[in-house]
Amino acid sequence: MLLHVPGPTLTSEEKLTRPSLWKYRYPLFALALLGILCFYQLAVVLLLRKSQSQQTKPFSGKLISNPYQNWKVGSREKISLHAHSDEVWFTPERHTIKEIVGEYQKEGFSNIAITDYGQISNTEDPNYIRGMEWGQNIKKRHILAIGIQKAFYDFFPIYASRENLNWVMDRMKKLGGYVILPHPKLFDSYSREEMLSLEGFQAVEVYSPYGDDTKILDNLLSVGKNVHCMASDDLHYFSESIVKNFDQPFWKDMIQTLGHQRGRKGESFLRYIVTNSGVKDQDAVLQALNEGSFYCVKKFFQGAEDPKVPEIHVNAKNQIQVKAEERYLEIRFIGKLGEVLQISPDTNIATYQIQESDPYVRVELIALTGSIVSNAIIRNK
């Protein structure tokens, strides 16, 4: 028979005062979940990453690459590439795709991309461009993918390093996406240093409701990153004058009112890109995006006439020739580090002689009703 040594006998008072872990079960459960989340986040940060594979160098060479060289004379296509609908489960108070597409068509837009968070919305509809916006983090470090074939999960809900962002953009491109950094000035989500160290994005929003800044292009182009401009409404809600005409259910009106989405003036239809005549379906727009064969436009106020984009050609003497149907207040030729190389005022025609010291030249045009930014004409080996 084994020897049994009895434990200490507790009095009834000691039993009442003895601490029990059970009453702390909820805080302990929350602490365990937090620990699992932190472990998960650390694991994906270390595993899903892509280092910068190549160092950029300023553009050089005797050949001049002009993305507008093959533009046809004729009408142009207005395209919107950043809009959010009610298709996502946590944004049911937003507008329907039908409402969004209908309003943009009324404003003369040829096509629109619906870029909901984390998913490709209503993918069976062939009439608009596929897209998605990645990123749920607090700092608003989001990434747009236009034409992407398949959505994927955001593995970095709390934190993503620069190498993680490179991994995300690389995956987007493998899935057929044209990659854009949206609203870099919102909460300073992308600093100059971060954009210089990232690899994989093809455009950056220089015209956005959250901040307009075309100098961002010069920071990138000057070191040899052939990055395009982008202009978008980043549509979340239409103005009150439009929404009041929608046949919305009562609950949606109530949620929009409580969330202070109603009554806004709105900035829809003000920022967009313009492609060549006939370039409006998804495949043609994607080709134009990848070639940089489009302009970025910002209208100064709603209801204004659309500023007319020019034709830009480079002749055999390496002269950039700008010609338009509209007289501009200014035509500016801009070079390395944002230096203004030449200003031609009050004209619809301008010529600039590319110098040996110019690694690239881009054009900005100021019209009566808006401003237009071209993509860069670069030196190429």
pLDDT digits (tens, 9 = 90+) for 1-15: 445 556 555 555 555
Given the structure tokens 């929003």, which residue do they identify?
205
CA distance linking residue 134 with residue 146, whole number of Å: 11
Each residue's pLDDT tens digit, 264-322: 777 799 999 999 999 999 999 999 999 999 999 999 998 899 999 999 999 999 999 99
DSSP state, residue 83: B
Q: Is 182 helix (H, G, I), strand (E, B) or coil?
A: coil
pTM given for the model: 0.90
- pLDDT bin (cut points 50, 70, 90) of residue 206 is very high
- CATH value of 73-294 in 3.30.360.10, 3.20.20.140, 3.40.50.1100, 3.10.129.10: 3.20.20.140
- At 345, give phi and psi (nearest 5°): -90, 155
Q: Residue 326: pLDDT above 50?
A: yes
Each residue's pLDDT tens digit, 80-116: 999 999 999 989 999 999 999 999 999 999 999 999 9
Q: Residue 328: pLDDT above 70?
A: yes
Question: Any bridge partners for residue 64, and if so which?
Answer: 379
Q: Residue 17: pLDDT above 80?
A: no
Strand pairing report for 203-207 and 377-380: unpaired
DSSP for 140-153, written as a single string: ---EEEES-SS---
Region 32-37 average pLDDT: 80
Give how far the C-alpha of residue 187 lies from the chain's centroid of Cα atoms, to the nearest Å: 14
pLDDT at 311: 96
Region 136-159 average pLDDT: 87
Given the structure tokens 């690694």, which residue do they identify?
359
Region 223-243 average pLDDT: 95
Q: Residue 16: pLDDT above 70?
A: no
Q: Residue 136: pLDDT above 90?
A: no
CA distance linking residue 78 with residue 151, whole number of Å: 26
Region 214-231 average pLDDT: 96
pLDDT at 1: 45
Question: What is the percentage of the chain residues whose pLDDT exceeds 70?
Answer: 94
CA distance linking residue 251 with residue 343, whole number of Å: 54
In contact, 87 and 122? CB cutoff 8 Å: yes
Q: Residue 330: pLDDT above 90?
A: yes
pLDDT at 19: 57
Q: Which two tokens stand for residue 67?
A: 């993305």
- At 380, give phi and psi (nearest 5°): -145, 135
Q: What is the rounded average pLDDT for all residues in the chain? A: 90
DSSP state, residue 55: -
pLDDT at 176: 96
For the chain, report the end-to-end CA distance as a whole number of angstroms.
93
Region 146-175 average pLDDT: 92
Each residue's pLDDT tens digit, 49-68: 888 777 789 999 999 999 99
Each residue's pLDDT tens digit, 36-48: 777 777 877 788 8
Region 358-380 average pLDDT: 97
> What number of other Cβ atoms are within 10 A of residue 320's Cβ?
25
Question: What is the percentage of the chain residues whose pLDDT exceeds 90?
Answer: 72
Domain ranges within the chain, ordered by starting residue: 73-294
CA distance linking residue 249 with residue 227, whole number of Å: 43
In contact, 187 and 194? CB cutoff 8 Å: no
> What is the largest distance, in Å, between two alpha-carbon atoms of the chain?
110
